[in-house]
């Protein structure tokens, strides 16, 4: 087993301008623990990102609850995710696992007891399960009340709309639709997300604008208009996530963690922020 270097990312810094309400939730992080290796098909792990590391970031940002998402690096090996949930504890942590169409029901029962509440669908390089297997996975997780977390390049949403409309459980459109590169807020492909949100079982996650933005932070002026339109349209089904530890970008483009939270000051009103950070995660994840 290859030795993975310890974390060198900045964990501390100035606090965000946004004063978070009690129960504030980070709905998207990844953790990389000692003793777990990258699996074939996924990217390599450049350095560790442990529960202890994240707790420092969590304290800096004023967050209390967290949703740990299975990284692409681990593919179908959810071991580090389950260990992370055990360390964090059921009162403050939930998980999104990678579920294959042939995952035994007994495994799903065990994962549910550990705090898993969703299955990851990734139609971008490195994803373990794509939309081709999405409906088979949905049939497995639906009895547990889990949701799907779906990520794709929003520029090609027309390729996915029909399959998304067939989903019967709740599902998250991840990373603000992840339009790469961004489109105008009035683009028909943003209209398609609005239509999906209006069907009642789709959620939007504000997360990692830096991965799609060509203008960069702290304002992300090319991604912000999309986010503002979608948040205003469905604040009762919008979530926020930091995407820590930001493994999708090189260190030279590493974003400031407080900046990732402070985008909500411009993209969501104070009543909406209460929903996004506290009420919506509590409802979807059962906090």
| Residues β-bridged to residue 202 | 171
The answer to whether the CB of 92 falls within 8 A of the CB of 64 is: yes
* DSSP helix/strand/coil, 116: strand
Tokens representing residue 106 in the block: 């007994």
Tokens representing residue 135 in the block: 């409906």
Alpha-carbon torsion 44, 51, 153, 99, what sign?
positive
The answer to whether the CB of 216 falls within 8 A of the CB of 196 is: no
* DSSP helix/strand/coil, 277: helix
* DSSP state letters, 42-64: S----S-B-HHHHHHHHHHHT--
- Does the active-site annotation cover 243? yes
Task: For residue 3, count other CB atoms closer than 10 A to its CB.
Answer: 7
Separation CA 127–CA 130 (nearest Å): 7
Separation CA 218–CA 158 (nearest Å): 30
- Between β-strands 171-173 and 116-122, what pairing exists: parallel, antiparallel or unpaired? unpaired
Q: Which of 72, 78, 243, 280 is catalytic?
A: 243
Separation CA 176–CA 240 (nearest Å): 10
Tokens representing residue 154 in the block: 């929003």
Active site residues: 243
């Amino acid at each position: 087993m290859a030795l993975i270097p310890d974390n060198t990312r900045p964990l501390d810094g100035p606090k965000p301008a946004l004063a978070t309400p009690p129960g504030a939730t980070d709905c998207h992080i990844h953790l990389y623990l000692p003793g777990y290796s990258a699996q074939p098909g996924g990217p390599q792990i450049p350095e560790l990102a442990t529960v202890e590391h994240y707790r420092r970031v969590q304290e800096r940002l004023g967050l209390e609850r967290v949703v740990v998402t299975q990284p692409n690096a681990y593919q179908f090996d959810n071991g580090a995710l389950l260990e992370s949930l055990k360390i964090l504890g059921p009162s403050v942590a939930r998980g999104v696992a990678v579920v294959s169409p042939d995952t035994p029901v007994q495994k799903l029962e065990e994962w549910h007891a550990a705090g898993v509440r969703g299955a990851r669908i990734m139609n971008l390089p490195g994803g373990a399960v794509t939309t081709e297997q999405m409906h088979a996975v949905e049939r497995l997780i639906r009895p547990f009340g889990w949701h799907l977390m779906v990520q794709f390049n929003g520029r090609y949403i027309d390729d996915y709309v029909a399959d998304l409309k067939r989903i019967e459980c709740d599902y998250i459109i991840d990373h603000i639709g992840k339009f790469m590169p961004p489109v105008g807020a009035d683009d028909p492909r943003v209209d398609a997300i609005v239509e999906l949100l209006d069907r009642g079982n789709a959620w939007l996650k504000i997360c990692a604008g830096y991965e799609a933005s060509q203008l960069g932070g702290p304002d992300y002026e090319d991604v912000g208009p999309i986010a503002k339109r979608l948040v205003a349209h469905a604040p009762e089904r919008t979530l926020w996530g930091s995407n820590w530890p930001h493994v999708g970008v090189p260190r030279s483009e590493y974003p400031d963690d407080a900046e990732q939270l402070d985008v909500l000051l411009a993209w969501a009103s104070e009543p909406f922020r209460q929903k996004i950070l506290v009420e919506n995660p509590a409802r979807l994840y059962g906090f």
